[in-house]
Amino acid sequence: MRKPEKAAIEAVAKHFSATWERGENPPDTYFTIAGKRIAVEVTTVKQRVAGRADLAKPGLRFDRVALRFVRRLQDALCEAVPDGKTMILTITAPIQMPSKTAAVLEDKIRTCLARRSVPAEAKDTIHGNGIKVCLVKNGFRRASKVVGFVHNPESDPDVLLDMTRSLIERIGAAAGKRAPARLSGDRWLVLANENGPSHIETYRHVYSQLSLPNDFKKILMVSAGGRVEALAR
């Protein structure tokens, strides 16, 4: 267990007044809370752009135009994205021509998907709006195929891409681990965020869009300062 992960486990144990002991990997550790034993996996969420904290504030937009734009793209592109993959889209606000912008973007993405020529990451400008697109493996057939974020122009879209990729990778890897069959109790997942601010509300919004199948009773995020927060409420 790496130092940040051990620190995260200790922070969660203190938060819940729990005792803990090392597990067999899986699970990474066990908590005992009020006599109840809980299997716990722990992993680290990484941010490639963590050093750019001032630029990394993900100012998301939730106005009617933004929400409709994202919903339209999800409905239009869901069938086109292959099983086991998630397309991440970011676009700068304000969206002055939402219908025309969405139509152009849909056409470009459909063309790339049909040719199987979607790059790992691409960017474009459509009707004045900066757009980034990223196609990643999610490891789940029932996970969301399209997630989208409308953000303020001064925000860094790479942070949103990093958050989404990291949650897909880390939760997917942890969900794939199976505790010994003799354990029938709850499973928790602890995400250690060792770099940069937690931006917990943004992480929650990202997680709510992903629909990642897992059997964790709780998913908790621990910042570098030891603050413990629930990813899902």
Q: Cα–Cα distance between 204 and 22 in angstroms, integer?
A: 28
The pLDDT score that the predictor gives to residue 126 is 97
The pLDDT score that the predictor gives to residue 206 is 93
* Burial grade of 58 (CB within 10 A; 0-12, 13-18, 19 or more): buried
Report how far Cα 61 is from the mean position of its chain's Cα atoms. 17
Does 72 lie in the same domain as 27? no
Q: Cα–Cα distance between 190 and 154 in angstroms, integer?
A: 31
Mark which of 155, 181, 197 sits at the end of a domain. 155
The pLDDT score that the predictor gives to residue 54 is 46
CA dihedral 191, 194, 200, 205 (to 10 degrees): -60
The pLDDT score that the predictor gives to residue 53 is 47
Does residue 57 form part of some domain? Answer: no
Does 32 lie in the same domain as 73? no
Mark which of 155, 188, 205 sits at the end of a domain. 155
Does 198 lie in the same domain as 147? no
Does 81 lie in the same domain as 143? yes
The reported pTM is 0.88
Residues recorded for the chain: 233
Mark which of 155, 186, 208 sits at the end of a domain. 155
Does 127 lie in the same domain as 80? yes
Report DSSP letters for the chain, one per residue.
--HHHHHHHHHHHHHTT-EEEE-SSSSSEEEEETTEEEEEEEEEE--TTTT-TTT----B--SHHHHHHHHHHHHHHTTTSPTTEEEEEEEESP-SSHHHHHHHHHHHHHHHHHHT---SEEEEEETTEEEEEEEEE-S-SSS-SEEEEEE-TTS-HHHHHHHHHHHHHHHHHHHH----TT--S-EEEEEEE-SS---HHHHHHHHHHH------SEEEEEETT--EEES--
Does residue 160 form part of some domain? Answer: no
Does 132 lie in the same domain as 71? yes
Does residue 122 form part of some domain? Answer: yes
Does residue 59 form part of some domain? Answer: no
Residue 31 is encoded by which pair of tokens? Answer: 């908590």
Number of folded domains that form the chain: 2
Does 151 lie in the same domain as 91? yes
Does residue 58 form part of some domain? Answer: no
Give me the tens of pLDDT residue by residue for the chain, a chain 233 residues long.
888 899 999 999 999 999 999 998 889 999 999 999 999 999 998 766 544 544 456 789 999 999 999 999 999 999 999 888 999 999 999 999 999 999 999 999 999 888 876 677 889 999 999 999 999 998 787 889 999 999 999 999 998 999 999 999 999 888 877 666 566 678 999 999 877 666 889 999 999 999 888 889 999 999 888 999 999 76
Does residue 39 form part of some domain? Answer: yes
Q: 228: Cβ–Cβ under 8 A, 6 or more apart, which residues?
A: 11, 12, 15, 220, 221, 222
Does residue 55 form part of some domain? Answer: no
The pLDDT score that the predictor gives to residue 173 is 87
Does 108 lie in the same domain as 37? no
CA dihedral 229, 137, 56, 200 (to 10 degrees): -10
User: Can you give the residue range of the structural domain that contains 133?
Assistant: 64-155
